[in-house]
Amino acid sequence: MRVELRGITKRFGSFTANDAIDLIVEPGQIHCLLGENGAGKSTLMNIVFGLMRADEGEILLDNQPVRFSNSGDAVRRGIGMVHQHFMLVPVFSVAENVVLGFEPTKSLGRLDRRRAHSEIRALSEKFGLEVDPEALVENLPVGLQQRVEILKALSHDAELLILDEPTAVLTPQEIDSLMDIMRSLADDGKSILFITHKLKEVRAVGDVITVIRQGKIIDSVPPTRSEGELASLMVGRDVNLKVTKEAVHAGDPVLELRDVVVRDDRGITVVKGVSLDVRSGEILAIAGVQGNGQTELVEAIAGLRRVESGTITLGGRDVTNRTPRQILDAGLGHVPEDRQRDGLVLSMSVEDNLVLNTSRRAPFARRGTRNLAAVTANAEELAQRFDVRTTSVKSPTGSLSGGNQQKVIVARELSRPLTCFIAAQPTRGLDVGSIEYVHRQIVEQRNGGLGVLIVSSELDEVLALGDRIAVLFDGGVMGVVEPTMSREEIGMLMAGVGPS
């Protein structure tokens, strides 16, 4: 399908998120959109998908102007979309989520669950995206939820596929297979709009790369441009894509895990006796394919999940099965994997989210009353430092772009006194400029003597940040290795193959 956008403009109050955007996607083309956090990419995609209405401009599909009154129309016209923040109902099963809106039925409007399940199985098989159709979405780690979201978009044989950061939480293998899927769909003449912050992916799969900055199109370039060039086009300055780290000076352990056993929501033991030490002044990175227990392990450390047996010691104090507040007060900084569920209160302002776990204390509260001036001042300083793009720190956090929401959490957690910092996918959805900044912050904290635990599905990030790398497989530690180990060897460990 040929897609043409003409002069699309979208304003939120006085703020212009999309400014007269013209864009053409040819049939069979993989068109990449690059842009900083808050550049207006998701907004534009939501307009194409009929979720938002443009203030000006028009959309043409195969040279026919269209006006969607809702996204059901868009789907019927052959558009499928993977949303940056998954549009999944947590209490529904995978199958229910995938068929929602287009359900197979029997007589009396009864849902045909059996057919839904077999359709999902067939889809999974066809695209190599394995997932249990009967599992409840809320029980799945984000990586699997991402698969569900992709399956949902693929389930209608869309002629135009919009992928808004589909790879943010996928493993390298999954990313490769998604790219294969994209290529073969494009070869069939389908058009694809692909948003990602990972320059490698853009260059590997894109036919055209369009760069958006502050709601305007800056340039369209071929994928032959180097990563450095793309990065500076995006941010408007040179970006250092390499993490520079000083030599490690590790001290005493600040976080000690001893034989920690944790179950998942279904009661299955998924962390099977993990023992690890995070020492002050070092970064321990956990590598592993999603679903090998890392999600549950992090939740257990943060007090969000029960530890069945074993102990967790933070800064010398036993914090096993303490409440999240006790653990945070004991000096744990935590960036959760699912930012919208566990990290933010979306309907509350940015400034309030920035003090979510410190609002009880001075200077934000005094004798039980809040000091709102201090809250605002804190927010303004952090927004400046971490480059949180928002019209005002009093805006609801839900109105921020995905990457900027992530920055709010990172800023909050890194701005209080900590003994240990633990982050799951800390740079999920951040643009290259922000990744550079967050990585530098993490390294600086580590230089200042903080113990850091990073969980990332991004092997590059693990290798770049980790002073030591722990590989998790099937709920156990396969080994703790140096970052100098080759990617292949680490990949073997991640697949459960031990060193011979």
Q: Which residues contribute to the site for ligand ATP (CB under 6 A)?
A: 12, 17, 35, 37-43, 84, 389-390, 399-404, 429, 431
Binding segment (CB under 5 A) for Mg ion, from list 131-139, 182-190, 400-408, 476-484: 400-408
**# chain residues binding another protein, by CB under 8 A:** 46
> Which residue from 128, 161, 158 is spatially nearest to 30, judged by alpha carbons?
161
**# chain residues binding Mg ion, by CB under 5 A:** 4
* Nearer to Mg ion among residue 429 and residue 475 (C-beta): 429
Q: How far is the CB of 341 from another protein (least distance, A)?
A: 6
Site for another protein in 18-77 (CB under 8 A): 46, 49, 51-53, 70-76
* Nearer to another protein among residue 345 and residue 362 (C-beta): 345
Q: Which does 421 bind (CB under 5 to 8 A by kind): another protein, ligand ATP, Mg ion, none?
A: none
Give, for 256, the enclosing helix (H) or strand (E).
Answer: strand 253-263
Site for another protein in 285-344 (CB under 8 A): 304-306, 340-341
If you write DSSP's letter for every residue of 187-222 in order, what string do you get?
A: HTT-EEEEE-S-HHHHHHH-SEEEEEETTEEEEEE-
Q: How far is the CB of 401 from Mg ion (least distance, A)?
A: 5
φ, ψ for residue 186, nearest 5 deg: -65, -40
> Which residue from 434, 33, 420, 453 is spatially nearest to 218, judged by alpha carbons?
33
Q: How far is the CB of 81 from ligand ATP (least distance, A)?
A: 13
CA dihedral 382, 387, 389, 395 (to 10 degrees): -10
In the three-class reduction of DSSP (H, G, I as helix; E, B as strand; rest coil), residue 348 is classed as coil
Q: How far is the CB of 444 from another protein (least distance, A)?
A: 32
Q: Which does 389 bind (CB under 5 to 8 A by kind): ligand ATP, another protein, Mg ion, none?
A: ligand ATP
Measured in whole angstroms, the distance separating CA 160 from the mean position of its chain's CA atoms is 23
* Nearer to Mg ion among residue 23 and residue 285 (C-beta): 23
Q: Which does 328 bind (CB under 5 to 8 A by kind): ligand ATP, another protein, Mg ion, none?
A: none
Q: Alpha-carbon distance 328 to 335, whole Å?
A: 11
How long is the chain?
Answer: 500
Q: Which does 37 bind (CB under 5 to 8 A by kind): Mg ion, another protein, ligand ATP, none?
A: ligand ATP
Q: Which does 85 bind (CB under 5 to 8 A by kind): Mg ion, another protein, ligand ATP, none?
A: another protein
Q: Which does 101 bind (CB under 5 to 8 A by kind): Mg ion, ligand ATP, another protein, none?
A: another protein
Residue 85 DSSP one-character state: S
> Which residue from 328, 431, 344, 348 is spatially nearest to 387, judged by alpha carbons?
431
* Nearer to ligand ATP among residue 213 and residue 279 (C-beta): 213
Which residues, in sequence order, are CB contacts of 280 under 8 Å at separation 6+? 250, 251, 252, 253, 254, 419, 449, 450, 451
448 binds another protein (CB under 8 A): no
Residue 306 DSSP one-character state: -
| In the complex, residue closest to ligand ATP by CB | 403
| Strand partners for 490 | none
Site for another protein in 117-136 (CB under 8 A): none
Residue 396 DSSP one-character state: B
* Nearer to ligand ATP among residue 168 and residue 469 (C-beta): 168
Please identify which residue in 21, 30, 59, 81 interacts with another protein, judged by CB under 8 A.
81
* Nearer to Mg ion among residue 196 and residue 292 (C-beta): 196
In the three-class reduction of DSSP (H, G, I as helix; E, B as strand; rest coil), residue 124 is classed as helix
Residue 340 DSSP one-character state: I
* Nearer to ligand ATP among residue 388 and residue 422 (C-beta): 388
Q: Alpha-carbon distance 3 to 69, whole Å?
A: 18
Q: Alpha-carbon distance 409 to 218, whole Å?
A: 29
Q: Would you tell me the crossing angle of helices 142-154 and 113-127 to the nearest 10 degrees? A: 100
> Which residue from 286, 407, 293, 396 is spatially nearest to 343, judged by alpha carbons?
407
The distance in angstroms from the start CA to the end CA of the chain is: 52
Q: How far is the CB of 42 from another protein (least distance, A)?
A: 9
φ, ψ for residue 52, nearest 5 deg: -125, 155
Q: How far is the CB of 12 from ligand ATP (least distance, A)?
A: 3
88 binds another protein (CB under 8 A): yes
* Nearer to another protein among residue 358 and residue 397 (C-beta): 397
> Which residue from 86, 485, 443 is spatially nearest to 287, judged by alpha carbons?
485
15 binds another protein (CB under 8 A): no
Please identify which residue in 42, 46, 191, 425 interacts with Mg ion, judged by CB under 5 A.
42
Burial class (CB in 10 A: 0-12, 13-18, 19+), 476: middle
Q: How far is the CB of 252 from ligand ATP (least distance, A)?
A: 38
Instruction: Spell out the alpha helix ranges (H) of 195-266.
Output: 199-205, 227-235
Site for another protein in 384-413 (CB under 8 A): 396, 398-399
In the block, tokens 């040279």 appear at: 63
Q: How far is the CB of 336 from ligand ATP (least distance, A)?
A: 17
Residues binding Mg ion (CB under 5 A)? 42, 84, 401-402
Contacting positions for another protein (CB under 8 A) = 46, 49, 51-53, 70-76, 81, 83, 85, 87-92, 96-97, 100-103, 105, 108-111, 138, 263, 265, 304-306, 340-341, 345-347, 396, 398-399
